């Protein structure tokens, strides 16, 4: 039943005036143009709001730039004369996935964040590392908006292109099981990093059941030397514990989530990065239940805070992934080099440190790890690194022309699928010759060392003292 226009107009004005008199923080206001009938229940996720009489509902979003959940309120007005008869504070909107056409934004005090205008640049080929062992990733987003799907696409591309993950080893669970999301912009355009088509292979919905199914599949695949990356995105909330929102069905509580991970067999490294609100509440349970030898957990916010969102990406997820990739989504330079110890790899701690340094002031990032060894978790543990500098330079120089003219997914597929095994044979020959050269030169080296060390030549410090005297 549609409410009368004059009543709707009156209620909109009353809501704006009431919030202004309270000096409330800037809020975006929505009105449900259909009457909420007496006896109905408004579903605000874990909170059920009873409606005792026919009402017009105004929804006040008090932190529009945050991911859900965050502070909001429901205002219920009488249908007859537009009088406020009920006000309820909450954490979630009435429609998390697909708001109906009757749900109207009528006052926008906090406009949608605008992403800076960038231009994609070609990523020049860097050092080749051939993967050894198996590495897996689970990328999860349930009640996705465009920024959440974009975060998953950014991470997927970096895992495939720059870390050599096999697409078959990446389990992407997004929204309704497709590259899609709730809300604008629709229809889907190109991925905003470089305006190309989305590439990630979505293998399931962002539901608890599908996530549990992936963990079940990994039970039969993970081995002692393997690496697992888990990234969760979209929305989260907190009741008695932090929880992760899903596309449909039950939300995923932190303890149940951690217990499910604990059913995996023992493996080498578990790296977790979480973007959703109240994600800090997952840190301790995951560390307590993880079967991995080394576990790291990075979250966008602490257990009692919301995480901030953006126009095209979530700031914390964007910056963490950018640190792992060494470039922004559009290919641009970062604020500083995340590789703090300059060892050629970005570990979980370094990625977090970068994201935490450039963080949005509204985020409250959290990091912890099970290992006492700094930098124990990274995505490069199972790579063969070429030890001889001229060999790495020769490979990079030979490959550069092909990177410039080939699609990047084809380029990296050829490196890791075909070229890599053959290069390992060349590496073995180089190491053999290197060892032969060392054996041949060993007598000469010993002679040089003994000649220099045994002759009676004063040290520099002794010579200086004699000159001064």
pLDDT digits (tens, 9 = 90+) for 263-315: 999 998 999 999 999 999 999 999 999 999 999 999 999 999 999 999 999 99
- H helices of 220-344, where? 254-261, 283-289, 315-325
The whole-number pLDDT of residue 467 equals 46
Domain boundary residue, one of 385, 416, 450: 385
268/228 Cα distance (integer angstroms): 8
Count how many domains the chain has: 3
Same domain, 78 and 137: no
Same domain, 56 and 98: yes
181/116 Cα distance (integer angstroms): 22
Identify whether 290 is part of a domain: yes
Beta pairing partners, 104: 31
Name residues whose C-beta falls within 8 Å of residue 463's C-beta, 6 or more positions apart in sequence: none
Q: What is the helix (H) or strand (E) element at residue 233, kind and residue range?
A: strand 227-233
Same domain, 103 and 134: no
The whole-number pLDDT of residue 170 equals 98
The whole-number pLDDT of residue 386 equals 41
52/288 Cα distance (integer angstroms): 45
Tell me what the pLDDT averaged over the chain comes to.
88
Identify whether 276 is part of a domain: yes
> 405 to each of 122, 222, 317, 419, how far by Cα in Å?
11, 36, 30, 17
The whole-number pLDDT of residue 274 equals 98
Q: How far is CA 23 from the centre of its chain?
A: 36
Same domain, 168 and 243: yes
Backbone conformation region of residue 133, classed left if phi is above 0, alpha if psi is from -120 to 50, else beta: left
Identify whether 418 is part of a domain: no
- H helices of 162-282, where? 208-219, 254-261
The whole-number pLDDT of residue 410 equals 83
Domain boundary residue, one of 50, 72, 107: 107
Identify whether 232 is part of a domain: yes
Same domain, 200 and 269: yes
169/160 Cα distance (integer angstroms): 10
> 199 to each of 99, 178, 228, 288, 316, how far by Cα in Å?
27, 11, 21, 35, 22
> 436 to each of 329, 430, 442, 447, how far by Cα in Å?
46, 10, 10, 18
- pLDDT tens digits, 194-251: 999 999 999 999 999 999 999 999 999 999 889 999 999 999 999 999 999 999 877 9
Same domain, 343 and 468: no
Identify whether 103 is part of a domain: yes
CATH number of the domain enclosing 268: 3.40.50.1460
DSSP-derived 3-state class of residue 370: coil
- pLDDT tens digits, 351-393: 999 999 999 999 999 999 998 777 778 876 454 544 434 456 6
Same domain, 211 and 322: yes
- Split at pLDDT 50, 70, 90, the class of 423 is confident
Same domain, 230 and 274: yes
Same domain, 142 and 287: yes
- Split at pLDDT 50, 70, 90, the class of 124 is low
Q: Is beta strand 55-61 parallel, antiparallel or unpaired with respect to 170-174?
A: unpaired
The whole-number pLDDT of residue 129 equals 53
Domain boundary residue, one of 385, 415, 449: 385
Identify whether 413 is part of a domain: no
Identify whether 435 is part of a domain: yes
Dihedral pair phi/psi, residue 45, rounded to 5°:
60, -115
Identify whether 118 is part of a domain: no
Same domain, 144 and 291: yes
Domain containing 133 equals 129-385
Same domain, 232 and 349: yes
Same domain, 253 and 335: yes
């Amino acid at each position: 039943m549609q409410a009368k226009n004059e009543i709707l107009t009156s209620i909109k004005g009353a809501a704006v005036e009431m919030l202004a008199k309270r000096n409330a923080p800037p809020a975006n206001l929505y009105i449900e143009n259909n009457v909420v009938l007496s006896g109905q229940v408004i579903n605000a996720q874990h909170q059920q709001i009873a409606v005792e009489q026919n009402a017009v509902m105004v929804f006040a979003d008090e932190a529009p730039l945050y991911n859900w959940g965050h502070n909001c309120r429901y205002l219920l007005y009488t249908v007859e004369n537009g009088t406020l008869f009920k006000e309820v504070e909450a954490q979630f909107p009435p429609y998390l996935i697909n708001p109906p056409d009757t749900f109207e934004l009528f006052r926008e005090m906090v406009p949608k964040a605008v992403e800076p205008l960038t231009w994609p640049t070609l990523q020049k080929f860097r050092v080749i590392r051939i993967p050894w062992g198996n590495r897996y990733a689970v990328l999860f987003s349930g009640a996705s908006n465009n920024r959440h799907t974009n975060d998953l696409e950014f991470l997927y591309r970096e895992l495939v292109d720059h870390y050599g993950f096999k697409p078959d080893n990446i389990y992407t669970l997004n929204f309704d099981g497709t590259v899609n999301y709730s809300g604008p912009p629709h229809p889907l355009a190109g991925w905003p990093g470089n305006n190309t088509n989305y590439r990630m292979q979505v293998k399931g919905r962002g539901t608890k059941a599908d996530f549990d199914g992936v963990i079940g599949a990994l039970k039969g695949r993970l081995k002692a030397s393997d690496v697992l990356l888990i990234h969760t995105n979209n929305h989260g909330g907190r009741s008695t514990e932090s929880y992760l929102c899903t596309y449909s069905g039950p939300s995923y509580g932190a303890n149940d989530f951690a217990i499910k991970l604990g059913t995996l067999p023992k493996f080498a490294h578990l790296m977790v990065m979480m973007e959703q609100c109240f994600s800090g509440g997952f840190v301790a349970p995951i560390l307590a239940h993880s079967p991995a030898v080394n576990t790291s957990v990075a979250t966008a916010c602490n257990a009692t805070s919301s995480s901030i969102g953006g126009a095209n990406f979530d700031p914390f997820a964007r910056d963490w992934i950018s640190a792992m990739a060494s470039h922004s989504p559009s290919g641009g330079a970062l604020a500083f080099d995340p590789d703090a110890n300059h060892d050629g790899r970005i570990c979980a701690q370094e990625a977090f440190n970068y994201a935490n340094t450039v963080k949005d002031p509204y985020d409250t990032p959290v990091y912890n790890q099970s290992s006492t060894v700094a930098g124990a978790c990274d995505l490069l543990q199972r790579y063969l690194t070429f030890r001889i500098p001229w060999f790495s330079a020769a490979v990079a120089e030979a490959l550069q022309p092909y990177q410039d003219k080939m699609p990047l997914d084809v380029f990296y597929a050829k490196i890791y699928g075909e070229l890599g095994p053959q290069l390992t044979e060349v590496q073995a020959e180089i190491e053999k010759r290197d060892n032969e050269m060392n054996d041949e030169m060993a007598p000469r080296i010993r002679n040089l060392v003994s000649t220099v060390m045994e002759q009676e030549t004063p040290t520099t410090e002794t010579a200086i003292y004699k000159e001064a005297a």
